Amino acid sequence: MGRTVDQEVHAAFVEFRAKEDDKCLSVQCIYCQQIRAKNTSRQKQHLLECPGLRGHPNAPQPNQPSQAPNGIPSSNGYPGTPSGPTATPGPGGPATMPTPNGNLMSNGVNPHATPLQTPLQNLNRPPMATPGPPTGPSGSAPPSAAPSRPTPKPKSKSANSNLPAPPLDDVHAAFVEFRAKEEDKCLSVQCIYCQQVRAKNTSRQRQHLLECPTYLSVMKDSIPANNLLHTFPEGDVARSLQIPAPTLELDFRMSIKMNPKVTVGQSIWGGREWVSFLGGQWAGRWGKGIVLPGGQDTQIVTKDYTTNLRASYMLQTADEPPAYVIVRAQGWLTGAKDVLEKVNDTTMADGINPSSYKYRINLSMETGDERYTFLNTLMWVGSGCRRGQEVIFDAFRIN
């Protein structure tokens, strides 16, 4: 007896359990190697669209009808009843049901001689040749070897977005889990962005998000650069990139004592001033020490007392033996003109609230000591204030 449609579907898939603790089985198509959750109706639909099945030389073929003694092909492999005087009356014909392949008996046997072909066998395949009389001296013809063709592999869908794959927590948050039927062992999930329902599978849920138009639109809107006054044009790769934002971490505090400034005079950029350092001290996360005498700061002061700062000096660590680190700093002292005028006056600077002006610098360091080589590639931004002949600032490491 020929196999039913469901049997053909099950024969086209290999069942397995992806993980030992999985409650649900997975199946793999033997024609295109695609893996999916076990579901007969969806497996059947897959076979109707399977590219590997359409060109596979080993796809299941319909059984050839056997010949009865009277030369009439028997239906569905049952032996025929001889005709003639020795024929015996058979039982009354069973009830029949209409099907696409003709009337089908209630016991599932097709009464006519045409072989039963399932949808699996009719998928874009040429009609089967009708068996002819035996040929050749041996009474049988050798089967013609069909040329083997490689199984076409399904093309994987490439994500149409440059967004990074969402983390596991975001994947779970984007889907609502439910059980379609009370007796279902496997959970289903529904995307909260496009309402699509699918079997619960984390990797496929993540892939779905990378192709979900609504999710991609929401993610692009969440990119800070896309909320600026001016943005990149739609479709540009820079519009869909999620770039990590740096963070600041307090790394050390430094105090530098200065000599009275020397006014060089008016230049094309502004009033040039030269300030030398008496020394100082510093302490932070990775060490402590002193600021060696001899450092200097060359300043340019504009008409409104906005001051450009460019300083270089050397640190000495408290280790034994000590390490030496070169520091380069540049930045700006900005604020209201009347406030800056007082800040630049060493006799009045102590009484000015540091929040009323901005003393901002960026720093880099250089050393050849192996204990502190990590400083060579770090960057810092500093916020400081003036106190008479002293500058105090906090340095924040940029991570």
The string of pLDDT tens digits covering residues 12-42 is: 888 888 887 777 888 898 888 888 888 888 8
pLDDT at 249: 97
Cα separations in angstroms, 343 against 271, 309, 331, 357, 383: 16, 14, 16, 9, 15
Which pLDDT band holds residue 342 (cuts at 50, 70, 90)? Answer: very high
Q: What is the predicted pLDDT for the residue at 130?
A: 47
Q: What is the mean pLDDT of the chain?
A: 79
User: Is 106 part of a structural domain of the chain?
Assistant: no
At 346-373, the pLDDT tens digits run: 889 988 999 999 999 999 999 999 999 9
User: Distance (Å, rounded) from C-alpha 310 to C-alpha 269?
Assistant: 14
Q: Is the confidence at residue 55, as pLDDT, over 80?
A: no
Instruction: Give CA angle at 241 (236, 244), nearest 5°.
Output: 150
User: Mind listing the pLDDT tens digit for each residue in 97-121?
Assistant: 444 444 444 444 444 444 444 444 4
CA dihedral over 375, 377, 382, 386, signed as positive or negative: positive
**Domain end marker among 211, 239, 267:** 239
32 C-beta neighbours (distance < 10 Å), count: 19
Strands in 26-29's sheet, in edge-to-edge order, are 13-16, 26-29, 35-37
Inside any domain, residue 119:
no
Residue 88 falls inside a structural domain: no
Looking at residues 138-152, what average pLDDT do you find?
Answer: 52
Both 275 and 366 in one domain: the answer is: yes
Question: Both 233 and 254 in a single domain?
Answer: no
Residue 174 maps to a domain: yes
Over range 69-96, report the average pLDDT: 47
Cβ(232)–Cβ(238) under 8 Å?
Answer: yes
Cross-strand bridge partners of residue 105 = 96
Residues 299 and 185 reside in one and the same domain: no
Question: Does residue 83 lie in a domain region?
Answer: no
Instruction: Among 239, 269, 290, give the residue marking a domain's end.
Output: 239
pLDDT of 2 reads 58
pLDDT over threshold 60, residue 11:
yes
Count of structural domains, the chain? 3
Give me the long-range contacts of 359-362 (CB less than 8 A, separation at least 24): 359/331, 359/333, 359/383, 359/384, 359/385, 359/386, 359/391, 359/393, 360/331, 360/332, 360/334, 360/384, 361/309, 361/329, 361/330, 361/331, 361/393, 362/329, 362/330, 362/331
Percentage of the chain beyond pLDDT 70 is: 71
Residue 182 lies in a domain: yes
96 within domain boundaries: no
> Which pLDDT does position 254 carry in this prediction?
98
Average pLDDT over residues 85-106: 46
pLDDT digits (tens, 9 = 90+) for 276-335: 999 999 999 999 999 999 999 999 999 999 999 999 999 999 999 999 999 999 999 999
Q: Look-up: residue for tokens 């050390």?
A: 252
Whether the predicted pLDDT of 246 surpasses 50:
yes
Note whether 274 and 336 are same-domain residues. Answer: yes
Check whether residue 290 and residue 330 sit in a common domain.
Answer: yes
Q: Which run of H or E residues covers position 311?
A: strand 307-317
Q: Are 90 and 82 in contact (CB under 8 A)?
A: no
Global model pTM greater than 0.75: no
Domain membership flag for residue 330: yes
- Predicted confidence (pLDDT) per residue in 252-269, tens digit: 999 999 999 999 999 888
**Domain, as residue range, for 329:** 248-398
Q: Which of 63-77, 175-189, 297-311 shows the highest mean pLDDT? A: 297-311
Taking the C-alpha atoms of residue 247 and residue 399, their distance in angstroms, rounded to an integer, is 5
Task: Provide the pLDDT for residue 217.
Answer: 80
Residues 230 and 258 in one domain: no
Q: Are residues 224 and 267 in the same domain?
A: no
Lowest mean pLDDT among 51-60, 83-92, 268-277, 299-308: 83-92
- Are residues 266 and 335 both part of a single domain? yes
Which residue among 186, 221, 239 closes a domain? 239
pLDDT of residue 236: 83
| Per-residue confidence band for 393, with pLDDT thresholds at 50, 70 and 90 | very high
- 192 and 275 in a single domain? The answer is no
Question: Quick one: 200 and 281 in the same domain?
Answer: no
- For residues 340 and 359, state if they share a domain: yes
Task: Report whether 186 contacts 201 (CB < 8 A).
Answer: no
Residue 293 is part of a domain; what is its CATH number? 2.40.160.20
Q: Are residues 260 and 372 in the same domain?
A: yes
The per-residue b/e assignment along 254-280, b for 16 or more CB within 10 angstroms, e otherwise, is bbbbbeebeeeeeeeeebbbebebebb
